[in-house]
Amino acid sequence: MIVQSLPVAALAGLLVLGCQSQDSDAFKQDIAHRGDEIIFSPDSPKLQHIREEKVELTLRPLMDPIPGKVTYDETRTARVTSPIAGRVVGSIVPLGEQVRSGTPLVELDSPELGQARSDHANAVSDLNLANQTFHRIEELYGDGIAPRKDREQAEDNLSRARSEAERTRLKLANLRVHAQKMDNRFVLQSPISGTVTEREINPGMEVRPDVATPLFVISDLDQLWVQADVFEKDIGLIQAGKSVRVRVPAYPGESFTATISYISQIVDETTRTVKVRCTLPNADGRLLPSMYAAVEVLSDPDDLVIAIPLSALVTGKTSDWVYVNMGNHHYQKRPVKVGPRLKDRVVIHEGLNPGEHVVIEGALLLRAEQGSALQKRQDKR
């Protein structure tokens, strides 16, 4: 018997075709279809394209999230400038430092302060002299020696001296300095307790009280504000004292609760929006001023609904449905009755129960698998 040998390339081709046929059969076997159900094998590569979310009751969303911004709570923030001109000497409190009311921020060498102290010392000296003169003339007037006009003049001089001494004392008191010292050193102190969040001052710098930019910004960051603009048509859905949910890009998947504290009484004619301010607790210090935020206005605490990501909803010509994981990679097509659809979420009135797991990514993949299975059944007929 004569055996003809095949070329090496032909043998390799047959091996490849055989392997492809086996892989195709294995791939077909990793998915099973049963009515409105799809069952994947545990090692199916398509499972990595499916993501689920547990269904939970949540407060009813009333509108799409509103873009907002985290800002300082201005009732707990101080923008500090120097009340007197001078040159920076000594150390400066660093950024991020926790300070208390009265903590020294910077020391200045201020000739203006030296002049104010000198003026006060001169005023006190003039007051003492005017007081002595008045009492001497008062005695002479009582004895009938000094005329009435000298007494009145001495009394007027004493009143003027008192006014000047008080004026110079109040100037030093406003600067929070001691009148007894006779130097030019002025210490700028923190007016509140908080964190030094901004600093616009350097060693040797000349400062003036009329600068537009504050030297320091000090704020109590345990509480912040969230500023947002609400469209005129949605104003009826919010009210002062109502709770809102705040989300920031820095912490995806997390939310923070704030309270609406102020609603403007003016509509912006250009944007047709109303400014809204929310008070946001920040005891752990995770949130920072100037962060972008999304503000979600919620319903009353007892108004709970099921709301799922809009990506989970599959919309047909006459119905809507979702895919629910029944366990062991077993996915069921479930018709649902939907409520309001927002930008990224949809309210479900019927069809889902708390505790179930709904597919939020990969629903279109499951739909395509079901469509493919239905087409094959029709072709066989």
Residues 381 and 370: their CA atoms lie apart, in Å, by 17
Same domain, 317 and 350: yes
- Please answer whether residues 218 and 195 qualify as being in contact, where contact means their C-beta atoms are separated by less than 8 angstroms: yes
Instruction: Determine which of 4-18, 49-63, 298-312 has the lowest per-residue pLDDT on average.
Output: 4-18
Q: Which amino acid makes up residue 77?
A: T
190 falls within a domain:
no
Task: Output the pTM of the full model.
Answer: 0.68
Same domain, 226 and 293: yes
- Is residue 20 scored above 50 in pLDDT? no
pLDDT the model gives residue 22: 43
User: C-alpha 201: how far from its chain's center?
Assistant: 27
pLDDT the model gives residue 31: 60
349 falls within a domain:
yes
pLDDT the model gives residue 28: 46
State the CATH number of the domain containing residue 244.
2.40.30.170
Same domain, 325 and 291: no
- Please answer whether residues 85 and 207 qualify as being in contact, where contact means their C-beta atoms are separated by less than 8 angstroms: yes
Same domain, 259 and 315: no
341 falls within a domain:
yes
HSE, CB side, 13 Å, CA atoms: give it for residue 102: 2
Q: Which of 267, 297, 327 is the last residue of a domain?
A: 297
Same domain, 263 and 314: no
- Is residue 378 scored above 80 in pLDDT? no
Query: What's the total number of domains in the chain?
Result: 3
Q: 303: pLDDT confidence band, cut at 50, 70 and 90?
A: confident
Q: What's the mean pLDDT when you consider all of the chain?
A: 86
pLDDT the model gives residue 90: 83
Q: At CA 304, angle to CA 363 and CA 239, rounded to 5?
A: 115
Q: What is the pLDDT of residues 26-75, one digit of tens each?
A: 444 456 566 678 888 888 888 888 999 999 998 888 888 899 999 999 99
- Is residue 182 scored above 90 in pLDDT? no
Same domain, 317 and 370: yes
Q: Which of 297, 327, 359 is the last residue of a domain?
A: 297
Q: How far is CA 138 from CA 124, 132, 162, in A?
A: 21, 10, 17
User: C-alpha 375: how far from its chain's center?
Assistant: 52
Report, as an integer, the average pLDDT of 190-208: 95
- Is residue 7 scored above 70 in pLDDT? no
Q: Which one-letter DSSP state was computed for residue 176?
A: T
- Is residue 21 scored above 60 in pLDDT? no
82 falls within a domain:
no
- Is residue 17 scored above 90 in pLDDT? no
Q: What are phi and psi of 53, to 5 degrees?
A: -140, 140
Report, as an integer, the average pLDDT of 269-276: 95
pLDDT the model gives residue 25: 44
Instruction: Identify which of 218, 212, 219, 215 has the alpha carbon closest to the alpha carbon of residue 200.
Output: 215
Q: How far is CA 50 from CA 231, 357, 364, in A?
A: 36, 12, 10
R_g (Cα) of the chain, nearest Å: 40
100 falls within a domain:
no
Q: What is the pLDDT of residues 118-153, one digit of tens each?
A: 999 999 999 999 999 999 998 888 888 889 898 889
Residue 204 backbone zone (phi > 0: left; psi -120 to 50: alpha; other: beta):
left
- Please answer whether residues 186 and 30 qualify as being in contact, where contact means their C-beta atoms are separated by less than 8 angstroms: no
Report, as an integer, the average pLDDT of 8-27: 42
Report the DSSP pairing between strands 314-315 and 273-281. Answer: unpaired
- The boundaries of the domain holding residue 349 are 32-60+304-376
Q: Tokens at residue 139, please?
A: 């005695």
Q: Which one-letter DSSP state was computed for residue 126?
A: H
101 falls within a domain:
no
Q: What is the pLDDT of residues 152-181, one digit of tens each?
A: 899 999 999 999 999 999 998 888 887 667
Report, as an integer, the average pLDDT of 367-379: 67
- Is residue 194 scored above 80 in pLDDT? yes
329 falls within a domain:
yes
State the CATH number of the domain containing residue 139.
1.10.287
Q: 328: pLDDT confidence band, cut at 50, 70 and 90?
A: confident
CA dihedral 355, 356, 362, 366 (to 10 degrees): 180
- Is residue 324 scored above 60 in pLDDT? yes
Report, as an integer, the average pLDDT of 188-212: 94
State the CATH number of the domain containing residue 355.
2.40.420.20
Burial class of 26 by CB neighbour count within 10 A (0 to 12, 13 to 18, 19+): exposed
pLDDT the model gives residue 82: 94
Residue at token pair 């060693």: 203
Q: Tokens at residue 41, please?
A: 């094998």
Same domain, 287 and 231: yes
Q: Which of 178, 203, 230 is the last residue of a domain?
A: 178
Helices 148-174 and 111-142 cross at an angle (nearest 10°) of 160
The strand order across the sheet containing 194-199 reads: 77-80, 216-219, 194-199, 98-99
8 falls within a domain:
no
Same domain, 327 and 368: yes
Which has more pLDDT, 105 or 9? 105
Q: Tokens at residue 48, please?
A: 């990595």
